[in-house]
Chain A
Amino acid sequence: MNLNNATISELHQLLISKAISAKELTKHFLDRIAEHDNQINSFITVTPDIALEQAKAADRALASGKHTMLTGIPLAHKDIFCIDGIRTTAGSKILADFIAPYTSTCIDKLNNAGSITLGKTNMDEFAMGSSNESSFFGPVSNPWDNTKVPGGSSGGSAASLAASLCVASTGTDTGGSIRQPASMCGLTGLKPTYGRISRWGMIAFASSLDQAGSFTRTAEDAAILLEYMAGHDNKDSTSLNLSVPRYTAALSKPLAGVKIGLCSDYFKEGLDSEVENLVLEGIRELGRMGAEISEIELPHTKFSLSSYYVIAPAECSANLSRYDGVRYGYRCDNPVNLEDLYKRSRSEGFGTEVKKRIMVGTFALSAGYYDAYYRKAQQIRRLIKNDFISAFKQVDVIVGPTAPGTAFPLGAKTNDAVSMYLQDIYTIAASLAGVPAMSIPVGLSKGLPVGLQLIGNYLEEAKLLQVAHQFQQQTDWHKQQPQSFM
């Protein structure tokens, strides 16, 4: 079997049948990272010692029969998740030397299940960006075409999996940061319901929107990972105190009778025509498989970008105040006084995009502007939520494009913020509402992957995963890989 396109469930079979050891599997991917990552820059930190130590433990667990589906599976984690003793940077100069003294709940659960940590992946600084170009550690290239961006902010996690440098990876999605790079890298990307996975130890960008999730080769792998990552956490008040379903159990149900909604707002100007055709063909395929397709209305979705770009910067402006050069992180040289310490540590430590958003958020919360911006944005958010609540009375899943186009050239949008922000036009509404959504490969346009977005009702990840899995039984877009990394 080719280890480079194997799924979690396939590798699990190899591991428990002793066809391969966790150590061999781990070494295979560590070797690939050493050999190939210089072409795409998808890792900020590689952790071979920890990975091999974990592989040893995984092999013991496999030998004794005390294993899980994840025992011995090599994963890559977005560098936004704190891991005890490992540098955690959030892609920023201000945390370039920060070593976390604790492990995030989400990664802790994956570790406890016996998975292997290969390293920490590159990302837009503090998850702010849609191209992975705002990272202090340099941009990530798309394995499908290394002159193109991988999408962002979880660009490193997406690129590392597309380049077969890991078996699956973790990411976070605030406005599309899992789904958009999954679309651009030809992967299955899942953003669960807000609160489904604990945020403890996950460096905050916009607290009311941030949600951990995964990049995988298949919907089945996404279901496996979610079973381990999800669940209530006493350390996160916003994590949902609900039991975690067996997501893998619902995958094999056929699509007959599943109601799929189509929103015409997702097919308006700005959408690349080839992307549109591939997405519509994917939807027709779902119809042929037995799904009932109907039109639905999401009347306030057109305001989601404006609402998001007030709420997310507002929250980030407060969340990032802690990086002040006082207790940890980057501190400027020779501050002359407290104000100088603050100003220069933050000016020198943060990149342009982060500073821009801090300023936008600070402005939006200022006395005299709060009602016009922040309060209004929250009102729109409530309307968008209500849109989804009514739509899901009619349909089970809403489908559409994930991103307006395929991967664009590196540098193409770095000086055009609005064009960059428009990358998330289809993903942001689900983030504002807090509903689960995913992106699955639906074809190639000029050799670059295109993603189909599936949006589900609150806590109905199982339904999303079922639709995605069934689609992947009939199509092989998710099996496509970039030539140079096969």
Chain B
Amino acid sequence: MNIPDGWQIDIGLEIHAQLNTQSKIFSGASTLFGSDPNIQASAVDLALPGVLPVVNEAVYAKAIRFGLGVSAEIARISAFDRKNYFYPDLPKGYQITQMDLPIVTGGHIDIFLEDGTVKRIRITRAHLEEDAGKSLHEDFDSFTGIDLNRAGTPLLEIVSEPDIKSAYEAVAYARKIHQLVTYLDICDGNMSQGSLRFDANISVRREDSATLGIRAEIKNLNSFRFLERAIVYETDRQISLLEANKSVPQETRLYDPGKDETRPMRSKETATDYRYFPEPDLLPVVVTDEKINAIKAEMPELPAERCQRFIDEFKLTVADSNLLASDRNLADYFEIAAENSKNALLSANWVKSELLGHLNRDSLSIKDSPVSAIQLGELVSLIGADTISGKIAKDVFSALWAGEATSATTYIEQHGLQQLTDQSALEPLILEILNANPKQRQQLLSGKHKLMGFFVGQVMKQTQGKANPQQVNTIIKRLLQESP
């Protein structure tokens, strides 16, 4: 994206990450996605009279893990507040959140810019809060349906400083957060289910202006692409307004992916004064040093550390290591395959070429791969042991992918695809082929080395690819030496 000359863009992101706890933040109801409407709404989620919230302790550990992951301060005392506004999918008429004393303050994330340089994006704070339910405006004939299954799902809201200067940086930052929360196992990162959602605060200003422009907040962006498109549209819109000597109103807007534009939210959906005050139903949260140290001791390996380990332990190239460590699920997959194959380098090659190729072709995520890491590991081990050739292995992989086989070993046995490594069986066949092609044999002997390929190809053809080309090569050379 090109930023018009003379303009500067300032973006701060608020990222809502749904924490992957079994039950909700203030009730025992399940957080499972995709159930029938309202079956996961308990008395607390419905805000019946007289019910009280009780904090699910699991959310603290997850929030603290995030804080440690971005080198932030962990508050020894944090507290919940009520954020008041009326909306049908907010049953209590207030959201329980952390306003004054968030559990995480400060911290940063480093992103790579297009030119490869590193840029640090500061994090202002990350606080715990509850998700709202869903309002379903279709299918109810002028009524709105309310589904409270999501109400009370724990959220970590991660707020950045306005350090982000372009759509590219915003996406890079958002992807880093996605990578981090999935690595930390605090969020499943499933964008299509709304597990990670972005609000972008966007403003523009003349390059020589020292103060930030008036911002618009684009709410509820649920994909990296929409985040990018919304920023591109919105900055263009704001620059056009200012260039026409009009002002940018401070407002909340929505991005419409169908029209690829942002437009103001209906004013009813936004409140001007949330009347925050301390939540009297919950005590302040006290976090001890012991607790923080215990969480530190159990911190999972972060992407950068894992990348370095792949280089040190498996001797992968920096590029391969970066690619494989970029996504926790991909890295896990690779490690399982490497362990099962006892051949990390070959496993890495197969994961990044064959596996990623197939996943891209079928638009699948690594988690949905029809070939498991154990299956791929087995296949790679058979290549490493010269049981099959690389070419046959690709056919076996396709069979596994298509569900025609469950184990490479069994499939190879059933279809007789083992490599012909028995020299006594190969020699007569090779001799026969040499004798059947005297002209080519003579040329090879006289130094035309590329005819070696011709003979190897003939042998491979005769054996339906089951011979080991390396071995065939050696046998041919020896036979020619023995009887020129």
State the CA gap A82–B46 with chains docked (Å). 15
State the CA gap A201–B46 with chains docked (Å). 14
Tell me whether A100 and B55 are in contact (CB under 8 A): no
Tell me whether B283 and A321 are in contact (CB under 8 A): no
B92 at the binding interface (Cβ < 8 Å):
yes
Tell me whether B54 and A342 are in contact (CB under 8 A): no
Interface centre among B46, B94, B280, B283 (most CB of A within 10 A): B280
A336 to chain B, nearest CB (A): 11
Tell me whether A321 and B277 are in contact (CB under 8 A): no
Tell me whether A327 and B55 are in contact (CB under 8 A): no
A39 at the binding interface (Cβ < 8 Å):
no
The residue from A199, A322, A328 contacting B52, defined by CB atoms under 8 A apart: A199
Tell me whether A326 and B146 are in contact (CB under 8 A): yes
Tell me whether A98 and B86 are in contact (CB under 8 A): no
State the CA gap A339–B48 with chains docked (Å). 21
| Given A200-B52, A318-B277, A102:B43 Cβ within 8 A | yes
B265 at the binding interface (Cβ < 8 Å):
no
Tell me whether B275 and A362 are in contact (CB under 8 A): yes
| Given A237-B55, A318-B94, A100:B50 Cβ within 8 A | yes
A317 to chain B, nearest CB (A): 8
Tell me whether B50 and A237 are in contact (CB under 8 A): no
Tell me whether A101 and B282 are in contact (CB under 8 A): no
Tell me whether A90 and B54 are in contact (CB under 8 A): no
Residues of chain A in range 266-293 having any CB-CB distance to chain B below 8 Å: none
Interface centre among A95, A102, A204, A322 (most CB of B within 10 A): A322
B92 to chain A: which residues have CB within 8 Å? 318, 321-322
B82 to chain A: which residues have CB within 8 Å? 318
A374 to chain B: which residues have CB within 8 Å? 277
Residues of chain B in range 38-59 having any CB-CB distance to chain A below 8 Å: 43, 46-55
B124 at the binding interface (Cβ < 8 Å):
no
Q: Which of A19-27, A52-60, A365-373, A440-448 contacts B (4 or more CB under 8 A)?
A: A365-373
A207 at the binding interface (Cβ < 8 Å):
yes
**Residue of B whose beta carbon sits closest to that of A233:** B52
| Given A207-B281, A322-B91, A201:B50 Cβ within 8 A | yes
Tell me whether A207 and B48 are in contact (CB under 8 A): no
| Given A207-B281, A321-B86, A339:B268 Cβ within 8 A | yes
How many residues of chain A have a CB within 8 Å of chain B?
Answer: 45
Interface centre among B88, B268, B276, B282 (most CB of A within 10 A): B88
B349 to chain A, nearest CB (A): 54
B37 at the binding interface (Cβ < 8 Å):
no
| Given A318-B84, A327-B91, A370-B277, A203:B50 Cβ within 8 A | yes
A9 at the binding interface (Cβ < 8 Å):
no
B282 to chain A: which residues have CB within 8 Å? 237-238
B264 at the binding interface (Cβ < 8 Å):
no
Tell me whether A366 and B275 are in contact (CB under 8 A): yes
Tell me whether A98 and B273 are in contact (CB under 8 A): no
State the CA gap A366–B51 with chains docked (Å). 26
The residue from B46, B144, B273, B280 contacting A327, defined by CB atoms under 8 A apart: B46
Residues of chain B in range 45-84 having any CB-CB distance to chain A below 8 Å: 46-55, 82, 84
State the CA gap A200–B281 with chains docked (Å). 10
A227 at the binding interface (Cβ < 8 Å):
no
Interface centre among A90, A201, A236, A327 (most CB of B within 10 A): A327
B281 to chain A: which residues have CB within 8 Å? 204, 207, 237-238
Number of A-B contacts (CB under 8 A): 105
A25 to chain B, nearest CB (A): 29
Tell me whether A318 and B93 are in contact (CB under 8 A): yes
A280 to chain B, nearest CB (A): 37
The residue from B48, B50, B94, B272 contacting A321, defined by CB atoms under 8 A apart: B94
B121 to chain A, nearest CB (A): 30
B43 to chain A: which residues have CB within 8 Å? 101-102
A307 at the binding interface (Cβ < 8 Å):
no
Residues of chain A in range 34-71 having any CB-CB distance to chain B below 8 Å: none
B93 to chain A: which residues have CB within 8 Å? 318, 321-322, 324
Residues of chain A in range 117-136 having any CB-CB distance to chain B below 8 Å: none
Residues of chain A in range 285-331 having any CB-CB distance to chain B below 8 Å: 314-315, 317-318, 321-324, 326-328
**Residue of B whose beta carbon sits closest to that of A94:** B49
B340 to chain A, nearest CB (A): 45
B49 to chain A: which residues have CB within 8 Å? 82, 88, 90, 95, 98, 100, 203-204, 322-323
Tell me whether A238 and B283 are in contact (CB under 8 A): yes
B26 to chain A, nearest CB (A): 10
A310 to chain B, nearest CB (A): 11
The residue from A81, A102, A314, A328 contacting B277, defined by CB atoms under 8 A apart: A314
A1 at the binding interface (Cβ < 8 Å):
no
Residues of chain B in range 233-249 having any CB-CB distance to chain A below 8 Å: none
**Residue of A whose beta carbon sits closest to that of B86:** A342
Tell me whether A204 and B50 are in contact (CB under 8 A): yes
Interface string of B284-328 (1 = CB under 8 A from A): 000000000000000000000000000000000000000000000
State the CA gap A100–B43 with chains docked (Å). 10
| Given A338-B268, A367-B273, A237:B51 Cβ within 8 A | no
Interface string of B241-280 (1 = CB under 8 A from A): 0000000000000000000000000001000110111001
A235 at the binding interface (Cβ < 8 Å):
yes
A208 at the binding interface (Cβ < 8 Å):
yes
A187 at the binding interface (Cβ < 8 Å):
no
State the CA gap A95–B88 with chains docked (Å). 18
State the CA gap A237–B25 with chains docked (Å). 13
| Given A326-B146, A339-B268, A235:B52 Cβ within 8 A | yes
B84 to chain A: which residues have CB within 8 Å? 317-318, 321, 365
State the CA gap A367–B176 with chains docked (Å). 36
A338 to chain B: which residues have CB within 8 Å? 88, 144, 268
State the CA gap A68–B471 with chains docked (Å). 91
**Residue of B whose beta carbon sits closest to that of A327:** B46
A324 to chain B: which residues have CB within 8 Å? 86, 88, 93
Residues of chain A in range 208-262 having any CB-CB distance to chain B below 8 Å: 208, 234-238
B54 to chain A: which residues have CB within 8 Å? 234-237
**Residue of B whose beta carbon sits closest to that of A337:** B268
B28 to chain A, nearest CB (A): 10
Interface centre among B47, B49, B283 (most CB of A within 10 A): B49
State the CA gap A318–B93 with chains docked (Å). 7
B94 to chain A: which residues have CB within 8 Å? 318, 321
Q: 23 pairs across A/B with beta carbons < 8 Å?
A: A81-B50, A199-B52, A201-B51, A203-B50, A235-B52, A235-B54, A237-B54, A238-B282, A238-B283, A315-B277, A315-B280, A317-B84, A318-B93, A321-B84, A321-B92, A321-B93, A322-B47, A327-B91, A328-B46, A338-B144, A365-B275, A365-B276, A367-B273
Q: Which 5 A-B pairs have the closest CB atoms?
A: A321-B93, A207-B280, A365-B275, A208-B280, A322-B47
